[in-house]
Each structure stands twice: as C-alpha cells, then as structure tokens.
Amino acid sequence: MLLESLREQVLKANQEIARRGLAPHTFGNASGIHRSGSQPLVVIKPSGVDYNALTTADLVVTDINGKILEGTLKPSSDLDTHTLLYRAFPQIGGIVHTHSEFATSWAQACKPIPCLGTTHADYFHGSVPLTEPLTAEEVASGYVRNTGEVIVRRFKAENLDPIAVPGVLVAGHAPFAWGKNAHEAVEHADVLEYIARLAFRSVLLNPSSADLPVHVRDHHYMRKHGPKATYGQKR
C-alpha cells in the first residue's frame, strides 16, 4: 500500500474534522501531499464515506493532476480543487475543506471575515479573503477545478501569502484551509471557524465594529510567526 504514513495522517485529519464538528454528515474532506520522490502524490478521502467507517485502505492516492494511482473508491468530489491548490501553492502540505457553520455563513453572505481582534491576528495576517462567485461558464467548464482557480486568482490579485493567510472563503460555498501538513490544516480550519464565530458575534453586538489597528494586528501575527517570534517554547 502506497504512502502508509501519509495515509495515517490524512485518516486522522478526516476523523478530526468530524470530531470537532467542522464537517457534519460527510460535508468535508482532508488531504495530504507527498512532495519528495519522482512525482508528488496526493492522499485524499473517498467521496461520501462516513468518517466513522473510514480506514487507511479506503483513502485514494492520485498524482498531483488527479490521476488515480491506488484505491478502489471514488476520490472526493473536491479532488480537482485540492490538486490545483497543491500545484499553485507549493508551500502547503495539507488541505481541509469543511462546511463549518459560521465560516460557511460568511461565505454564503459573500463577506470576507474582517480582522477584528487579536485572536484572529494570531493566525491570519489580515482578513480571511473571499473569492469571486464562479461564472456560469466556469461552472459548466469545470466547477471543481475552477473553484481552485478562483481561490488562486484571489490570492494573486491581493498578493497574499498562503502561509500567512492559511484559508479562504469560496463565495456562496464554504471554507478551505491548509497548512504544512494535514494536521496543521485541521488546526487552521478549526481556528477559521472560531474566528468566524467571534466576528459574527462582534458584528451582531456592534455593527460598526472596526478592523484591528494594523500595528496591533502585525504585532500579534509577527510575535507568533515572525523571524523573532516570542510565542511558545524553544525546541
């Protein structure tokens, strides 16, 4: 069986998004990529399989263009989005797609999540971006692939670093998050849902809520992720 270690990581990531309530029913998926060797290989959840029933043997292995190399089940219907993001963002090693309640609400409202406080700034360097809606032509010519395209287009248009902004809202759809591996992608998906909930309640309490001042935002992000980060313990 190919990539047993990565399969274990991806299995745990899929189970974890279900355990944390980020993906009710089968509304979500996680993947990971193995970038060393002769060609990058992707491990992803099969389509529509219950998280509690999922095993490492059920996971599907594809190349970075989505060609199935190992697996007897159909891969996630979001496979083409995952593989496109892996091609566009070579820094990332894991992707999670959920339909978590509050982040999906912002996506359906077609509003980016503003950076209103330091909890947000600790993980996302700026607002959580929102894609443009897919056009009728994009839906007809390749809906899943073009979902990835609109994500990449938003990051290029705003010159965003996918490491500093580890997630996005797809307009009318739901969030995607990523990280250096599948485990970190789950953490970012969980944080994204939490800050979406905080932002929703903040705006509900005060519709005039203002973005966190840039100097405070940058200080919080850099103290955790910058070259002179002070957060956490030295290894």
pLDDT for res 215: 96
Q: How confident is the model at residue 235 (pLDDT cuts 50, 70, 90)?
A: low
pLDDT tens for 77-95 read: 999 999 999 999 999 999 9
pLDDT tier at 229, thresholds 50, 70, 90: confident
Q: At what angle do helices 4-19 and 182-205 cross, to 10 degrees?
A: 20
Share of the chain above pLDDT 70, in %: 99
Evaluate whether 85 touches 77 at the Cβ level (below 8 Å).
Answer: no
- State CA 86 to chain mean position distance: 11
Angle between helix 136-157 and 79-88 (nearest 10): 30
The reported pLDDT for the residue numbered 30 is 98
Q: What's the CA gap between 41 and 68, in Å, rounded?
A: 10
How confident is the model at residue 4, as a pLDDT? 95
Q: Give which of 32, 33, 34, 29 is closest to 45, Cα–Cα.
A: 29
Name the pLDDT band for 2 (thresholds 50, 70, 90).
confident
Residue 138 CB coordination number (10 Å): 16
Rounded-to-integer distance, Cα 36 and Cα 133, Å: 35
The one catalytic residue in 63, 143, 161, 231 is: 231
Write out pLDDT tens, residues 172-225: 999 999 999 999 999 999 999 999 999 999 999 999 999 999 999 999 998 888
Residue 221 is a catalytic residue: no
Segment 6-21, tens digit of pLDDT = 999 999 999 999 999 9
When pLDDT is cut at 50, 70 and 90, the band that residue 157 belongs to is very high
Can 86 be counted among the known catalytic residues? no
Q: Domains in the chain, ordered, with CATH? A: 4-225 (3.40.225.10)
Mean pLDDT confidence for 97-104 = 98
Strand ranges in the chain using DSSP code E only, listed in sequence order:
28-34, 41-44, 60-63, 68-70, 94-98, 167-169, 175-179
What is the tens place of the pLDDT at every residue in 9-66? 999 999 999 999 999 898 999 999 999 878 999 999 999 999 999 999 999 999 999 9
pTM equals 0.94
- Catalytic residue chosen out of the listed positions 58, 122, 211, 218: 122
3-state secondary structure of 43: strand
Find the largest Cα–Cα distance for the chain: 55
Report CA-CA distances (Å) from 6 to 23, 47, 163: 21, 18, 21
Q: pLDDT by residue (tens digit) across 109-154? A: 999 999 999 999 999 999 999 999 999 999 999 999 999 999 999 9
